[in-house]
Amino acid sequence: MTQPNLLLGVNIDHVVTLRQARYRTMLDSPFAEPSVLTAALESEAAGAHSITVHLRADRRHIQDADVSLLRQQIATKLNLEMGNTREILEIALAVRPDFVCMVPENRQEVTTEGGLDVSGQRDALRTTVKALGDNGTRVSMFIDPDLDQVRASAEIGAAMIELHTGTFANHSGDARKAEVERLCAAAELGHALGLQINAGHGLTTKNLPDLWPVPHLAELNIGHHIVSRAVFIGLQAAVREMLAVMTTYRD
C-alpha cells in the first residue's frame, strides 16, 4: 500500500467536551459517555493516521486517564498537545506519546488561539524538546506562519512545526490569499531547515482547497469540523469525508 500524500490526525477533544458537560464529576460512572476510546477507534477505522488530544492544565476535557487509555489501546499514533509546564511534561514522559505538539495555553480560551512564541521562550522550550526527544517522542511547535518562529523552532531542536491556520480559516478573499502567502513562506523555510511541516486549526472540507498552494505539508490535525460533521453524519463518515478532500493535495 502506498503512503498517502497527506496524513490526518483527528483531534477528539470536543468529543470529550460533550462527556464533561454531564459527567465531569462522575468520570468513573459506567454510564459516562461519549467514550474517548470509541471516538479514537472509530476515527482509526475510518482511516485516521493519528489521534490528537490536548491535556490542558485545567483538565477541561481530556483527563490523565484518557491519555493513558489511548496510549494503551489505539493502533495508530498518539499526538499529545501540551503547554510547557513541569506537571504535563512529567505525564508526557511517563506516557511516551509518539508525538508532542507544544502549544500556548490560556485558561480563558475555548480552544487554542494563535501560535506559540518559540522565539521568546527558547531556553525553556529547548529543555523540554530535549527531554521528550531523549524519551523517544518527536516534538512539534504550534506556531503562526512567522519566519522568526520557524527559525527558532529549528534552533531549539524541534522535529516538526504545525502551522497555525486559524487566521487563514477566519478570513476570505484577499486576506486569505495574503495568509496563504505567509503560510507558503513559512513552509518553504521550515522544509529548508529540515522540519516536517504540519498544519491545523479551523480547517474544513470547504476551505482546504484554498490551503493547497502551501508546499511540503505532511500532516493536518483537525478536530472541531470533524466532530461537528459527526453530529449529523457519524464520526467514521466525517473522517472519510475529510480524507477524500485531502487526497486532492499535491505537493
pLDDT value of residue 1: 43
Among candidate residues 148, 158, 87, the one with its CA nearest the CA of residue 125? 158
- 144-196 pLDDT per residue, tens: 999 999 999 999 999 999 999 999 999 999 999 999 999 999 999 999 999 99
Catalytic residue (choose from 81, 105, 179, 219): 81
Can you give the length of the chain in residues?
251
Joined grid coordinates for residue 179: 495568509
Catalytic residue (choose from 14, 164, 191, 201): 201
Q: Is 14 known to be catalytic?
A: no
pLDDT value of residue 95: 98
Q: Which residues contact 180 (CB under 8 A, 6 or more apart)?
A: 168, 210, 211, 213, 214
Q: Is 54 known to be catalytic?
A: yes
Catalytic residue (choose from 14, 49, 54, 61): 54
189-192 contacts, C-beta under 8 A, 24 or more apart: 189/147, 189/150, 189/151, 190/150, 190/153, 190/154, 190/161, 190/216, 191/215, 191/216
Among candidate residues 119, 207, 103, the one with its CA nearest the CA of residue 164? 103
Question: In which band, very low, low, confident or very high, does the pLDDT at 3 lie, cut at 50, 70 and 90?
Answer: low
- 221-244 pLDDT per residue, tens: 999 999 999 999 999 999 999 999
Q: Is 216 known to be catalytic?
A: no
Whether pLDDT at 112 is above 60: no
- 52-102 pLDDT per residue, tens: 999 999 999 999 999 999 999 999 999 999 999 999 999 999 999 999 999
Q: Which residues contact 178 (CB under 8 A, 6 or more apart)?
A: none
Q: Work out the mean pLDDT of the chain and round it to a whole number.
A: 95
